[in-house]
Structure formats: C-alpha cells, structure tokens
Amino acid sequence: MVVHTIFKLILPCTNSVADAPLNKWRILIGLATGLFMASLEGTIVPVAMPRAVLELGGQQLYNWPITIFIFASTISIPVWGRLSDLYGRRIIYTTGLALFMVASLLCGISWSMEALILFRLLQGMGSGAVFSLTFTIIGDLFTLEERGRVTGYTSTVWAVGSILGPPMGGVIVDTLGWRWIYLVNVPPALVALSMGAKGLRGLATWQRGRRLDAKGFILFTIISTCLLLLIDAPMLDWQATSMTVLVVLVATPLFIRVERIEKMPFIPFRLLSDRLNFTLLAINGVVGFAFFGIVTIVPPILQWFYGLPPTTAGLLMASSTLGWVLAANISSRLIVRYGPGPMIKAGVSLFVVAVTLLLVTNTFAPSPWLLIPPLVMVGTSMGLTVPTTLITIQTLASSAELGFLTSILTFFRSFGGSLGSQAMWAPFANTPIELGILSAIFYPTIYSFGIALVLSIINIPLAFRIEWPDLRMIEIQRRNNQELPDNSL
C-alpha cells in the first residue's frame, strides 16, 4: 500500500526501545505547549470570523471554517492514533503537529473564504493528531502513579487554553487583525516540535510486518464524515441528506465485513466488544453528548432570555471549566489509590443531579446566578469521569493498541459532543427571542435537558454493574513480568 510503503522507507525498523534515555518532563512541556495551542484554537476563531468575512466576503460560508475544523479534528483523531500504533508515535505526532503549523500559516494568508475553509480543514486534521497523540504519548512515557499527576496537569492546560481563547481573540483581532488569530500558532508549534519531538527519538518506531488496513481506513473515514454531516443536517438539502444516508447504509455493512476478515483491522472489534472497554467508551459518549450540549445552549439562554452581556455570560460559564479542572486534578491522583470505580460512579451520579438541577433552574429560577452551582457540578462530574476513564483504558491497553484505544475514547466523546450540541439545540432553534420572558423557553428547556437527563441516567447502570479493575495490581504485574515495549510506540 502507498502509505505503508512511504512510512517503511522513512522509518527505521527496530524491536526495542532505543538506548537513549527519554527526558520525560521535557517532552511533557512540549506536548503541553501543543495541547494549549490546539485548545486555544478551538475557541479563539469564532471571535475572528466576523472580521474575516468583511475582508474575504462569502457571508453565506460564515460557519464553514468553524464547522470544517471540528469535523476534520473529530474524524482524524482515531486515524492518527491507529497510525501511531503502526508506524511510531514520533513520526506521526511530528507530522500532525507540522501539518497544524503549516495550515495555521496558510489560514493567516488566506485570499478567499474558500481558501480559508480548505486550510481550516488541514488545520483540523493536524489538531486531531495533537489531541490524540498527546495523551497516547503520556500513556507511553509515564507510570500509573505519574500519569495521575500528569493527566491533572494536561487537563489544566486544556482548560486554560479554552478559557483564554475568546478574550485573547478579541484583543488580537482589535490590535493586530484577524489573520494573527492563526499566525500566532506558529511560534508555539515550533516550541512544541523542538521540545517534544526531539525527545521521542528514544521511543521505538516501526515494526516489520504491520501495515495499514487501507480499506478499513477509507470506509471508516467515509462513514464518520457522513454521520457528522447528518448530525449537522441543516447544512444539507434533502437530496444531499438522502444521498448521505444511502452512503452510510451501503458503507457500514461493507466496513464490518472488511474489518472481520482483515488480520490487522483498522478498527479491532474485539477491543470494542470487551465489556470494560465498551463501558468506558459508552460513558464518554454520553457525558460528551450532555456536556457539550449544555455548553452550547446555556450561553444563548443567558444572553437572549436573562439579558446578560456576553462577558458576564462567559464568566458564568467558566464555572463549569473551573469545576472540571479542580476535579480532574483530584480524581487523577485518587485513582491510583482507590481505583477507577469510586470516581466514575461519583461522576455519573453527580451528572444526573447536575442536569436535573439545570432543568429545574432554567425552568423556574428568577436569577441566572442560580445556574452556577449546577454548572460547577457538571464540570466536576466531567473532571471525575474523563481523566479516570482515560487512565483506566491506557493502563489496560497493550502498547500495540494504546494509540487506538486512547484516540477512540476521545473520538466517542467528541462525536457524542457533536451529536449533543445539535440535538439539545434543536428545541431552541425556532424559539422566539424574548428578553426576560423565561416562559418562552419552558418547553424547549424540558425537551432539551430532558434528553440529556435520560441519557445521563443510562450511565448509572453502566458504572455500577461492572467490576472495576485494580489498576495498581495490573501495573505491578506488568512490571514484574518485565514486559518490554514493542516497537509499535
């Protein structure tokens, strides 16, 4: 295959970790720099789009640079993870990071809206590599005890980048212009490449005999793209929607057949059918649906119906991020001592309580400030759930499947978030905006938060009816067996 041949030519073949010692903490700084850059890009661009449209034109394409970035990032996450299992973390991570950097530069010099959309597609693909492989490489380098602390650090970096995006975007657009929203990514990308990628030479690379399942890769990409397009169905007319549905109906059984007969499938169904892996993926999909749905619909409710200015609404929403950061730093340390069960059970239970309070508060509360406690609870439940499921699935994964399992976990959460954003916004889409008239959103609130509540309740039996493993024992057994990492790293 073409991809396999290219990587075979440029990668050394080895069966063990190189003798050069790894400066893990230097690598972590590089990874955190790349993660901060990617998380910042996710929230900074919407601020720049009004100015970009005024200069480039194409008002009818206003939402495409934002949407295409999300699509490309979400779809590419498991692709990058699987490629890193096959051809090594270093070459795949540096390729993705370099793609993000070059695409950011091209976005900054875009000459038309169509060009900006194309470059945002490439930037989203690079962003998928950064999000996927940052956590995969952390799983490679750090022990269970270290991973708990490191996961807390990276959660903080992600949160800070996401929070700073909108205000930083406003300052950059007002002082330097909208193009610098993209150009500002180039220096930190160079830092991430120099500090992180150089150290990854100590990791093993390509393993002879492993190759990319090209058929599975192509079919997975087609199906994922079509599903995301269907989620954002208003972008399509009925003819395009019908054709997209037809493609999914034809490609899905073909994909399943290909993966079942393939010796090294792109998506190993045996891993997905494992009860513990399935539980971790399902929980992430549900919390992604509810969380990203909530952060999509609450800001317009605060501004349109409570009458809050954008800055105040943003600060109020930051309470959920603060809860996430604090809980993530605590849970990622407690998991080493108490295992994943208590944190995940507490997280999914708290989510049900938080969504219930949001439903009641949005329906009957006279003050928007009463939304702060349930928003903090939503963020806290995410902080208890997301890092814990990540650490659990990484501890159980073999080195040959670490990239896939880490990335597919992120994919489920992102895909659920895309679905939740659309599904929970749908009841509000045609609601007349009446400032201060909360009765106007009575039924939309019940429908929207009701969907999130029902799905959140599904997580309760998933979390409570499974026997959670002792991660410390698994880690100790792995060390005692002195299992050398294979060169899938």
What pTM, to 2 d.p., does this model score? 0.82
Give CATH 1.20.1250.20 domain extents, the chain.
20-210, 269-479
> Helices 113-141 & 144-175, crossing angle to 10 degrees?
160
Percentage of the chain beyond pLDDT 70 is 83
Under the banding of pLDDT at 50, 70 and 90, the label for residue 353 is very high
Q: Cα–Cα distances in Å, from 399 out to 16, 309, 487?
A: 12, 49, 8
Question: Closest Cα partner for 422 from 234, 225, 224, 166?
Answer: 234
Q: One-letter amino acid identity for 483?
A: E
Q: Cα separation of 55 and 417, whole Å? A: 32
> Helices 24-56 & 144-175, crossing angle to 10 degrees?
30
The whole-number pLDDT of residue 235 equals 58
The whole-number pLDDT of residue 398 equals 78
User: Residues 128-156: pLDDT tens digits?
Assistant: 888 888 888 888 888 887 887 888 888 78
- Length of the chain, please? 489
Question: Closest Cα partner for 378 from 449, 484, 470, 468?
Answer: 449
Q: Per-residue pLDDT for 2 more than 70? A: no
Unique residue bearing structure tokens 């007969």 = 261
Higher pLDDT, residue 438 or 158: 158
Q: One-letter amino acid identity for 448?
A: S
Unique residue bearing structure tokens 């830092």 = 191
In CATH terms, 20-210 corresponds, of 1.25.40.10, 3.10.440.10, 3.40.50.20, 1.20.1250.20, to 1.20.1250.20
Question: Closest Cα partner for 423 from 437, 439, 444?
Answer: 444
Q: Cα separation of 113 and 119, whole Å? A: 10
DSSP state, 206? B
| CATH number at 269-479 | 1.20.1250.20
Element housing 324 (H / E): helix 310-338
The whole-number pLDDT of residue 5 equals 46
User: Residues 280-314: pLDDT tens digits?
Assistant: 999 999 998 888 888 877 877 777 777 777 667 77
User: Residues 12-62: pLDDT tens digits?
Assistant: 444 333 334 457 777 888 888 888 888 877 777 766 777 777 788 776 666
Q: One-letter amino acid identity for 364?
A: F
Unique residue bearing structure tokens 């793609």 = 99
Per the prediction, the chain carries an average pLDDT of 79
DSSP state, 416? H
Under the banding of pLDDT at 50, 70 and 90, the label for residue 203 is low
Q: Per-residue pLDDT for 436 more than 80? A: no
Q: Cα separation of 180 and 197, whole Å? A: 25
